[in-house]
Amino acid sequence: MAVKKVLQYGEKTLREPSKEVHKVSKKVQELVHDLLETMYAKNGVGLAAPQIGVNLRVFVIDVSKNDEPLNPIVFINPKIIKKSGAVVAQEGCISFPEAYTDVKRYANVMVKALDRHGKPFVLEAKDGELLARAIQHENDHLDGILFIDHCVNRFETDEILSKHKLPPIEPEKLVSEPEIDEELKK
């Protein structure tokens, strides 16, 4: 178990879809520990396996606040099975040091996954809370999608990326989400 190097935006691996986990093996358990250690070391809210160069459908999240005990949640082979509502909120990513921009997300999501022991669970996150946004953010990493692909203003986001010496947005990667756009008009 160790703190791993986090890949930075621009590294090709971040854009590759991840493979399903077929067995929650000792190796997968070690990956979970590495993800948690790295996430905490980098003061992150979540971290996906592709961010440390591992092409597997695994991510971890902990939305506990400073004064609360740690509450890590492990997601193996997650699938978002229900989504509704819309919210705009500022997001950042450990793979984009110091760069934050407004993104569009579903306000409510329900996800099913396996926990660190291979047991299935279903989790619902509502009202655009941090957990709901983090689940979508980390799940996207497993499909090679990055938070900037959901940005509200592409040109403003490009300026922010440039300021932090990161590559510009790839326009062909921007995610079209008419249902979120409709919700936001209400």
Residue 80 lies in a domain: yes
Known catalytic residues?
A: 138
3 in a structural domain:
no
Residue 125 falls inside a structural domain: yes
Q: What's 32's domain CATH number?
A: 3.90.45.10
Residue pLDDT, tens place only, 103-151? 999 999 999 999 999 999 999 999 989 999 999 999 999 999 999 999 9
Total of domains in the chain: 1
Which residue range is the domain that position 70 belongs to? 12-185
Question: In this prediction, what percent of the chain has a pLDDT beyond 90?
Answer: 92
Does residue 1 register a pLDDT over 80? no
- Measured CA to CA in angstroms, residue 54 lies from 58, 88, 157 at distances of 9, 30, 27
pLDDT, one tens digit per residue, over 67-91 is 899 999 999 999 999 999 999 999 9
Q: Looking at the chain, which runs of residues are DSSP E strands?
A: 46-48, 58-61, 73-84, 87-93, 96-105, 108-114, 120-125
- Residue 86 domain-assigned? yes
Residue 185: pLDDT band with limits 50, 70, 90:
confident
Mean pLDDT score across all residues of the chain:
96
Q: How many C-alpha atoms does 33 have within 13 Å on its Cβ side?
A: 9
Residue 56 lies in a domain: yes
